[in-house]
A and B are shown apart, each in its own frame.
Chain A
Amino acid sequence: QVQLQESGPGLVKPSGTLSLTCAVSGGSISTNNWWGWVRQTPGKGLEWIAEIYHDGSTNYNLSLKSRVDLSVDKSKNQFSIKLYSVTAADTAVYYCARLSLRRVDYWGQGTLVTVSS
């Protein structure tokens, strides 16, 4: 059973960088799946941010692409996201997830990130 766990600061200052890591257990990250990030806010609901394959290939939500960087560390079986120049609108629960074909089949528990000074 694949499990995902997010980690990272819960508070980020405006104009700063949000950094989160997702540790994958119960299976290798080097499978035929994409590993991504989804966030959830009361106002905008669920929003797909981006995803990465174990070979480093990436896909992005076009609305966020200019501010997002993804990376994967196969030796640690984890992947990470950086979201730059954050504002209060980036306050959300961030989920890491495994995307299998056209669906999200595994989710982390989620971590609340608040953007505030």
Chain B
Amino acid sequence: EIVLTQSPATLSLSPGERATLSCRASQSVSSYLAWYQQKPGQPPRLLIYDASNRATGIPARFSGSGSGTDFTLTISSLEPEDFAVYYCQQRSNWPLLTFGQGTKVEIK
């Protein structure tokens, strides 16, 4: 099973700052990596798919990069509504699908 490790576990930042979240895979997942945002009491929301493609309706301040084993989600300038938990997900060895453990972006 491919294990996804996200870092840091918690990121404390202020609105307007840049957020950089990392997701590392235990083996190559090519570009088959997605990112989700989850707020309390809500389901996850797809942000990025295939490592760098923004999902429909996702603001341009969200961007994804990487391939192989190392991936990054960048939020260029944090808005108040961006404080949430972010998860990465891979589906390289279809159909097996796994998620990372999450990074919480909190207000500093």
Contact = CB atoms under 8 A, between A and B. Distances in A.
A105 interface: yes
B74 to A, nearest CB: 19
A35 interface: no
Given A103-B49, A104-B89, A95 B43 contact: yes
Contacts, number: 51
B82 interface: no
B89 A103 contact: yes
Nearest to B42: A109
A46 B43 contact: no
A45 B100 CA distance: 8
B96 to A, nearest CB: 8
Nearest to B29: A102
Contacts of B42: 109
A47 B90 CA distance: 12
B94 A104 contact: no
Contacts of B50: 102-103
Interface SS majority for chain A: strand
- Interface bin, chain A: 10 to 19
Interface string B79-108: 000000001011110111111111000000
Interface string A72-107: 000000000000000000000001000101111101
B94 A102 contact: yes
A46 B55 CA distance: 20
Given A107-B44, A110-B43, A59 B95 contact: yes
B34 A102 contact: yes
29 contacts: A45-B87, A45-B100, A45-B101, A45-B102, A46-B87, A46-B89, A46-B99, A47-B99, A48-B97, A48-B99, A61-B96, A62-B96, A101-B49, A102-B34, A102-B49, A102-B90, A102-B91, A102-B92, A103-B49, A103-B50, A103-B89, A104-B46, A105-B46, A105-B55, A107-B43, A108-B43, A109-B42, A109-B43, A110-B43
Interface of B: 32, 34, 36, 42-46, 49-50, 55, 87, 89-92, 94-102
List of 8 A-B pairs having minimum Cβ-Cβ separation, nearest first: A107-B43, A59-B95, A102-B91, A46-B99, A48-B97, A103-B34, A103-B49, A102-B32
